[in-house]
Amino acid sequence: MNARHSHPVEEASTTAGLPVSPSLGPTLRGARVPGRQAPVDRRVFLVCGLSVLLACAATLVAQLLTLLIGLITNLAFYGKISTELTSPAGNHLGWWVVGVPVVGAVIVGFMARYGSEGIRGHGIPEAMDNVLTRESRIPPRLTFLKPLSAAIAIGTGGPFGAEGPIIATGGALGSLVGQVLRVTAVERKTLLAAGAAAGMAATFGTPVAAVLLAVELLLFEFRPRSFLPVAMATFVAAGLRFVFHAPYPVFPMPDLHRPVEAALGIYIVIGALVGVASVFVTKAVYAVEDAFDHLPIHWMWWPAIGAVAVGVIGYFAPRTLGVGYDNITNLISANFPIRVMLILCVMKFVSWAIALGSGTSGGTLAPLFTIGSALGGLMGFGATWLFPHAGIDPRVAALVGMAALFAGASRALLTSVVFAFETTNQPFGLLPLLGGCAAAYFVSSVLMRETIMTAKVAKRGIRVPSEYGADFLDAVHVREVATPLLVTLKASQTLVQTRTWLMSHAPGCHHQGYPIVDDAGGLVGVLTRRDILDNSHQPEVQLRALVSRPPFTVRPDDTLRDAADVMVHHEVGRLVVVDPTNEKRMVGIITRGDVLSAHRHRLREAQLSEPAFRLPGVGRRGPAVADAVGPS
């Protein structure tokens, strides 16, 4: 503890290395010591149980939404009643195909205007907004409006994936459960994330990637209390998926071979180039959105305007219509010729950017995967032509491009890598995926501040956390920063006696708070300097009469997080530190300033320091770092 106080009023002695008050009270009645919260307790068990039920519901919603998209697609493009998920690319409508997306967009616009504006967009930024600003409260009507609007938009040719709306719907289900039941805001956030992750796992059969998506984009933390329920939800959702689908990869591809060293370097370069493309894609989408904001008509009609572009592009490039999961499979299997890959890459991007920017309902994952795999495949064929002996596999390049575009656009690095692995079951693709996605993430972070997931939220003035580190206050103990208790005031002292001492400029009279003890040394409470100098009290009143509430205490082995929580919860600026072996003993005091001062060590760790040793012949150049950057 810092020894910066020296007071003559009640001198302290030292026992076992700890300064303690010589006046030991019989009890600390009313003193409140913060309790330690276990990483996992019965509340976590309850949330896990609710998450399992959510997973069952999210899996059912995912299957129903897929069937609904298939039904609308078959009715709109083929005039038949069938729930089979079919690509609109084989339609024979001619120019009438332009009108199909427009009809769907008009319906979605009316649903957004008169149902809920929250159905607009791809869902994840809206979920982030609810987590960060509304204590994870999502309006219940979005639970059915979001999937219905998405099914209409995608079924009528919208160039989106079903996964975004399913993730948003699962999150809305979790939020609804958290609003109906008596849970904390943190538990409600966990339920939202569990529902969203379960929706993704039920769609793609990617339980691990779904957990990582929840951690990187929704939870903004990595604690057992939050990720265990999410893990249970994704486990159940992925398991239930086997009831509806065969246990095969969503994007099957021929088996890959172990990449050679030269090819690994090329895949990293491809990932970096795709990272540049991810910056362009993100900025283009929001540029289109800004352009729609300047239109002199109500936003309800914007999806219809965007749908005209979708229909026209769909007439010339039918593969751009609809979900397009089959396109991803063909791209990473190198089944498309270069010309088709180029057309699909460019046209899918233009169609999706305009449609998403217009504010309709749809997802981003499948379009990004399609564009990225086409771009990566093109680069792979180009690299094969330039370096014929490098052992480059265009299929691996397409796989790297698929994951790297999402990694760069969303900054969900681990999600991207694991998702590509789980959807293809190709272990030899893991190393190229990790290098390519890391390169894309690095390039994107250098060139772009916000991501495709956070830009919309950031425009509203909301800061989205991007780094999840351990709480520094939870790593520092109270004993490391608290001040030894060297002064107390007698409860029997009168106010005038105490004021006289405060004005005497004696050692210790400049402090802002003092423990008050009775004649037996028992802790009565804590008074601040402001309490003592308050002119509304009679001068002859004793200090014990000014104590309005019991004291709040911490132990030396409590953390600063414990202390800060008590200070904030009870609105106090200082806590008495008690001996953990005998809580009648007062051993120090800790203030808000002490808590803040602990951050000095954290700031020092972030500064450059002089090397501990120097190589021979290498001397110091220029001013020291501290001189160059100035005091912190």
pLDDT at residue number 436: 96
Distance between CA atoms of residues 47 and 53, nearest Å? 10
Residue-wise pLDDT for 426-458, tens only, equals 999 999 999 999 999 999 999 998 888 887 777
Rounded distance between C-alpha atoms, residue 71 and residue 80, angstroms: 8
Lay out the sheet containing 513-517: strands in order across. 489-490, 513-517, 523-528
Which domains occur in the chain, in start order? 13-21+481-601 (3.10.580.10), 44-244 (1.10.3080.10), 261-458 (1.10.3080.10)
What is the C-alpha to C-alpha distance for residues 613 and 522, in angstroms, rounded to an integer?
Answer: 54
**Burial state string for 470-480 with b = 16 or more CB within 10 A and e = fewer than 16:** eeebeebbbbe
471 forms bridges with which residues in the sheet? none
How do 513-517 and 489-490 pair as beta strands? parallel
Closest CA to 23 of 33, 34, 13: 13
More confident residue, 570 or 615: 570
Q: Tell me how far the alpha carbon of residue 8 is from its chain's centroid.
A: 52
Q: What is the DSSP letter of 254?
A: P
Q: Is the pLDDT of residue 625 over 70?
A: no
Question: Are 566 and 34 spatial neighbours (Cβ–Cβ below 8 Å)?
Answer: yes
Give the closest residue to 336 by CA, choosing from 325, 344, 324.
Answer: 344
Please state whether 508 falls in left (phi above 0), alpha (psi between -120 and 50) or beta: left
Question: Picking from 19-23, 28-32, 37-41, 460-464, which range would have the lowest pLDDT averaged per residue?
Answer: 19-23
Say what the pLDDT of residue 363 is.
76
Residue 361 vs residues 99, 265, 346, 467: alpha-carbon distances, Å: 18, 39, 21, 29
Cβ-count burial 301-330 (b if 16+ within 10 Å, e if not):
bbbbbbbbbbbebbbebbbbbbbbbbbbbb
* Triad 513, 518, 524: Cα angle to 5°: 50
Q: Mean of the pLDDT values across residues 606-626? A: 57
Q: Which residues of 568-586 are buried (b: 16+ CB within 10 A; e: fewer)?
A: eeeebebbbbbbbeebbbb
Give the pLDDT of residue 447.
94
Q: Which of 83-92, 153-162, 265-274, 503-512 has the highest mean pLDDT?
A: 265-274
| Per-residue pLDDT at 627 | 38
List, edge to edge, every strand of the sheet that includes 483-484: 483-484, 582-591, 574-579, 553-554
pLDDT at 630 over 50: no
Task: Tell me: pLDDT of 221 over 90.
Answer: no
Instruction: Tell me the per-residue pLDDT of 118-157, one tens digit each, with 9 for 90 and over.
Output: 778 766 777 777 777 777 788 888 878 888 888 898 999 9
346-352 contact pairs (CB < 8 A, 24+): 347/313, 347/316, 347/317, 347/320, 348/159, 348/317, 348/319, 348/320, 348/324, 348/374, 349/281, 349/284, 350/309, 350/313, 351/159, 351/309, 351/310, 351/313, 351/314, 351/317, 351/320, 352/159, 352/160, 352/320
For the stretch 333-390, pLDDT in tens is: 999 999 999 999 999 999 999 998 888 877 788 899 999 999 999 999 999 999 988 8
**For residue 27, pLDDT beyond 70:** no
Cα–Cα distance measured from residue 577 to residue 71, given in angstroms and rounded to the nearest whole number: 67
- Measured CA to CA in angstroms, residue 273 lies from 278, 286, 331, 343 at distances of 9, 21, 18, 19
Helix (H) or strand (E) holding 13, with range, is: strand 13-15
Listed in sequence order, the residues at least 6 apart from 442 whose beta carbon sits closer than 8 Å to its beta carbon are 272, 275
Q: Residue 588's beta-bridge partner residues?
A: 484, 577
Instruction: Describe the crossing of helices 302-316 and 99-114 by its angle, rounded to 10 degrees.
Output: 160
Helices 413-424 and 185-204, packing angle to 10 deg: 30
Long-range contacts of 9-18 (CB under 8 A, 24+ apart): 9/487, 9/488, 9/489, 9/501, 9/508, 10/486, 10/487, 10/488, 10/489, 10/517, 11/486, 12/484, 12/485, 12/486, 18/556, 18/579, 18/587
Identify whether the C-beta of residue 552 lies closer than 8 Å to the C-beta of residue 592: no
Q: How much is the mean pLDDT over the chain?
A: 83
Sign of CA dihedral 193, 194, 200, 201: positive
What count of Cα atoms within 13 Å lies in the side-chain half-sphere of residue 536? 4
Local structure of residue 477 (DSSP, 8 states): B
Q: Give the pLDDT confidence score for residue 445 in this predicted structure.
A: 93
Out of 2-6, 178-182, 553-557, pick the least confident. Answer: 2-6
